[in-house]
Amino acid sequence: MNQAPAMVAPALRIDTHAHVFTRDLPLADVRRYAPTYDVTVEQYIARLDAHGMSHGVLVQPSFLGSDNSYLLAAIARYPQRLRGIAMVDADVSEQQLLALQAGGVVGIRFNLVGGAPLPDVEGVWRTTLERVARLGWQVEIHREAADLPRVLPPLLAMGLKVVVDHFGRVDAALGVEDAGFRYLLSTGASGQVWVKLSASYRNGGAAEGERFARQAWPLLREHLGTARLLWGSDWPHTQHESLTDYGHAWQQFTQLVDDDAQRSIITGQTAAQLFSIC
């Protein structure tokens, strides 16, 4: 019996936001959520393969804190296809950062949603962020849009590359009129800010988030440019698993960005350069 040919991934199609974890991993002392299921790197690779993705980026889940060992082990299984975004403590050493880099990490994340204190960029974080800048890494920000005018300026002043998660996490009642989102648009002139077109459901739920995404996309394209936008699946969609799945997330993106050339920029060379994917 002839077997159907396997889907061949394009040269570059990169999912820039996903997570892997298991329930038995040590959890951070301060957390908003604890997983009730396991998601392995093999499961993630299977989804990449099934949807024609060449590469993926694993983002350290906030509930695992700064213990990036599971993330590093996952990347080590598929070092040619995966990169990582770590979470670190302010006192992380240069040697530890270099070890993360050797393990495929290309940036750090501040997960600041839910009222977490903002990082003291000019104080305890300064040395670490200067090291991050020298490494050429990005700093990924997950914070409600209202606080972006407080979070981003000191990072940009240090010359850091900044990636803002999930369309900027606007107030659902305000949508594109959220002052924080308007500020985010204004940062396009810096050339230092990228925005992930990901997890629109984190901006007010499935239907409201999708409506917001349709309004936000042309504004983000106009003010930041297609080359400063990224796509991420947000798999496995923690705390929103009932709203979507990997296939639906990709389909939403292709419907939102319905031009092949623009999709190729967003999921291809833009992401490859930012995440050091050859």
Main-chain dihedrals φ then ψ at residue 174, nearest 5 degrees:
-105, -30
- Rounded distance, CA 55 to CA 4, Å? 23
Residue 234 bears catalytic tag: yes
DSSP conformational letter for 78: S
- 3-state helix, strand, coil split of the chain in percent (to 5) is 45, 15, 40
Determine the 3-state secondary structure of 83 from DSSP.
strand
The answer to whether the beta carbons of residues 70 and 35 sit under 8 Å apart is no
Query: Which amino acid makes up residue 30?
Result: V
Report helix, strand or coil for 55: strand
One of 49, 234, 259, 260 is an active-site residue; which one? 234
- Residue burial 80-114, b: 16+ Cβ < 10 Å; e: rest: ebbbbbbbbeeebeeebbeebbebbbbbbbbbbbe
Say if CB 146 and CB 192 are below 8 A apart: no
List the 82-86 sheet strands across, edge first: 14-18, 55-59, 82-86, 105-111, 138-142, 161-164, 193-198, 229-232
Distances (CA, A) of 233 to 10, 25, 136: 17, 23, 24
Phi-psi region of 130 (alpha: psi -120 to 50; beta: other; left: phi over 0): alpha
- What is the C-alpha separation between 201 and 247, in angstroms, rounded? 15
Active site residues: 234
